[in-house]
């Protein structure tokens, strides 16, 4: 009995759609558009038999592989790996507040910011050089940016409230009640970190395959991740119930404000 299943035949539209996705991921914008135009003309020939598309041209992935410059593609994969790894490294720190290595003279809460320092200019350089705008600015991009911004600002507002209260006067149970509020803030930051990581990777993929301005989503998520990681490490390193809580407010916000400003500038540059 023949256990090998034949691939399901593709219509011309299905073949071109899958081929377009493959080449936009593998090639530069100019090369991918030229390849799509060539294959559109090739596929939609009047005498073309749809049932033999895969047999004659190979699968869409195989066709894209044949016209791929392997060296350039591997360079893109390396850049993508570095940028995506930075997001998930930030998320790992947000969830665990644990690190297995140290940099000389650098306090641990600066690690997530250091990831941003590396990834932000690298991403802007790559997509400015190799990316391409495609039509008007996407409304979905603007909506997603707004959602990420609201998540980040909401957490910062809650931190501002918690770092400026009198523990024993405003929370039932004194320091215990305050610690519960910090716990819920910490939990919210953990899940926000996961959200920003996946949203950021989505922005990277769409910046490569659709419009380089989706890089703005990656940069904003990277910025939020750096700020949340900084806050998480500071919370674990300091006792917010000891002394004046305003001291932590001053320290945290005086340091994350420049990070946020740089991130917003990078987001704006990516949108231009």
96-109: pLDDT as tens digits: 876 655 556 556 77
Considering 40, 68, 96, which residue would you say is the last residue of a domain?
68
Q: Do residues 166 and 221 both lie within one domain?
A: yes
Enclosing domain of residue 46: 12-68
Q: Looking at the domain assignment, is residue 4 inside a domain?
A: no
Considering 53, 68, 83, which residue would you say is the last residue of a domain?
68
Q: Do residues 241 and 162 both lie within one domain?
A: yes
Q: Looking at the domain assignment, is residue 29 inside a domain?
A: yes
pLDDT at 78: 96
Q: Tell me the pLDDT tens digit for each residue of 212-251.
A: 999 999 999 999 999 999 888 887 776 555 455 567 778 8
Q: Do residues 183 and 133 both lie within one domain?
A: yes
Please say if the pLDDT value at position 37 is more than 70: yes
Confidence (pTM): 0.85
Residue 4 confidence class, pLDDT cut points 50, 70, 90: very low
pLDDT at 261: 95
pLDDT at 183: 80
Q: Do residues 16 and 108 both lie within one domain?
A: no
Q: Looking at the domain assignment, is residue 174 inside a domain?
A: yes
Q: Do residues 81 and 195 both lie within one domain?
A: yes
More confident call, 262 vs 12: 262
pLDDT at 270: 94
**For the residues 28-54, what does the mean pLDDT come to?**
84
pLDDT at 1: 38
Number of domains in the chain: 2
**For the residues 206-213, what does the mean pLDDT come to?**
92
Q: Do residues 61 and 79 both lie within one domain?
A: no
Q: Looking at the domain assignment, is residue 3 inside a domain?
A: no
Considering only 24-28, 88-92, 181-185, 262-266, which range has the smallest mean pLDDT?
A: 181-185
Please say if the pLDDT value at position 72 is more than 60: yes
Please say if the pLDDT value at position 7 is more than 80: no
Q: Looking at the domain assignment, is residue 1 inside a domain?
A: no
Please say if the pLDDT value at position 131 is more than 70: yes
Residue 56 confidence class, pLDDT cut points 50, 70, 90: confident
pLDDT at 47: 76
More confident call, 235 vs 18: 18
Please say if the pLDDT value at position 128 is more than 60: yes
Q: Do residues 129 and 64 both lie within one domain?
A: no
Percentage of residues of the chain with pLDDT beyond 90:
42
Considering only 42-51, 63-72, 135-144, 196-205, which range has the smallest mean pLDDT?
A: 42-51
Q: Do residues 54 and 86 both lie within one domain?
A: no
State the average pLDDT for the chain: 84
Q: Do residues 29 and 105 both lie within one domain?
A: no
Q: Do residues 47 and 99 both lie within one domain?
A: no
Q: Do residues 50 and 95 both lie within one domain?
A: no
For the chain, give the DSSP string.
Answer: ---PPPPPP--HHHHHHHHHHHHHHHS-HHHHHHHHHHHHHHHT-TT--GGGHHHHH--HHHHHHHT--HHHHHHHHHHHHHHHHHHHHHHHHHHH---S---TT--GGGHHHHHHHHHHHHHHHHHHHH----SSPPHHHHHHHHHHHHHHHHHHHHHHHHTTS-HHHHSTTTHHHHHHHHHHHHHHHHHHHHHHHHHHHHHHHHHHHT-GGGHHHHHHHHHHHHHHHHHHHHHHHS-TTSS-THHHHHHHHHHHHHHHHHHHHHHHHHH-
Q: Do residues 56 and 82 both lie within one domain?
A: no
């Amino acid at each position: 009995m023949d256990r090998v299943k034949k691939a399901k035949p593709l219509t011309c539209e299905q073949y071109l759609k899958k081929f377009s996705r493959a080449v936009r991921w593998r090639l530069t914008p100019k090369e991918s558009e030229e390849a799509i135009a060539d294959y559109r003309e090739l596929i939609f020939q009047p005498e073309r038999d749809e049932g033999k598309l895969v047999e004659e041209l190979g699968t869409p992935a195989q066709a894209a592989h044949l016209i791929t410059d392997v060296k350039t593609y591997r360079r893109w994969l390396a850049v993508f790996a570095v940028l995506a790894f930075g997001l998930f490294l930030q998320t790992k720190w947000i969830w665990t507040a644990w690190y297995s290595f140290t940099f000389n003279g650098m306090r641990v809460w600066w690690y997530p910011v250091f990831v941003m320092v590396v990834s932000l200019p690298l991403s802007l350089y790559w997509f400015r050089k190799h990316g391409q705008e495609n039509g008007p600015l996407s409304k979905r991009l603007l909506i997603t940016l707004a959602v990420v911004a609201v998540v980040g600002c909401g957490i910062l507002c809650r931190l501002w409230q918690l770092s400026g209260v009198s523990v024993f006067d405003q929370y039932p149970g004194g320091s215990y009640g305050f610690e519960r509020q910090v716990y819920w803030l910490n939990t919210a930051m953990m899940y926000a970190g996961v959200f920003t990581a996946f949203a950021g990777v989505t922005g990277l993929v769409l910046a490569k395959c659709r419009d380089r301005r989706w890089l703005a989503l990656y940069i904003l998520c990277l910025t939020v991740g750096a700020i949340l990681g900084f806050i998480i490490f500071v919370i674990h390193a300091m006792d917010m119930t000891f002394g004046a809580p305003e001291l932590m407010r001053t320290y945290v916000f005086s340091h994350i404000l420049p990070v946020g400003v740089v991130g917003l500038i990078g987001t704006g540059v990516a949108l231009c």
